[in-house]
Amino acid sequence: MAWLFLGLAISCEVLATSLLKSTEGFTRVWPTLTCLAGYAGAFYLLTLSLRQLQVGTAYAIWSGLGTVAIALIGAVFLNEPMTPAKALGMALVIAGVAVLNVGGAH
């Protein structure tokens, strides 16, 4: 169940971060409320996952996969360039999370 909570926490955080630009500095009500609710949900679900997961493992996965997801969303939906350097960086983030998990974080 902890992994489900962590996956949902990542999804909420990615949704909230994706909405940041549309809040226009927190001046638009509905994007702002949705953004803040997404962050609140993300932190709540992260705390639920920490009942069974180590904080280092959970946070590495949460921040790493969230970072990669936001970079991909930026490239696909926000017309941000996807350079070879960005792609390599994302691959390194994923590799780092994998090494952390395989290398004894459990």
CA–CA gap between residue 15 and residue 39 (Å, rounded): 9
Give 28-74 pLDDT, tens digit per residue.
Answer: 999 999 999 999 999 999 999 999 999 988 999 999 999 999 999 99
Position 102 scores a pLDDT of: 81
CB neighbourhood size of 84 (10 A): 7
Work out the percent of the chain whose per-residue pLDDT is above 90.
Answer: 86
Q: What angle do CA 20, 96, 104 make, to 5 degrees?
A: 125
Tell me the pTM. Answer: 0.89
Using CA atoms, how far residue 91 sits from 13, 36, 39, 48, 68, in Å, is: 20, 29, 25, 28, 9
Q: How many domains does the chain have?
A: 1
Q: What domain range includes position 35?
A: 2-102
The whole-angstrom separation of Cα 99 and Cα 61 is 11
Q: Answer yes or no: are the C-beta atoms of 28 and 84 closer than 8 Å.
A: no
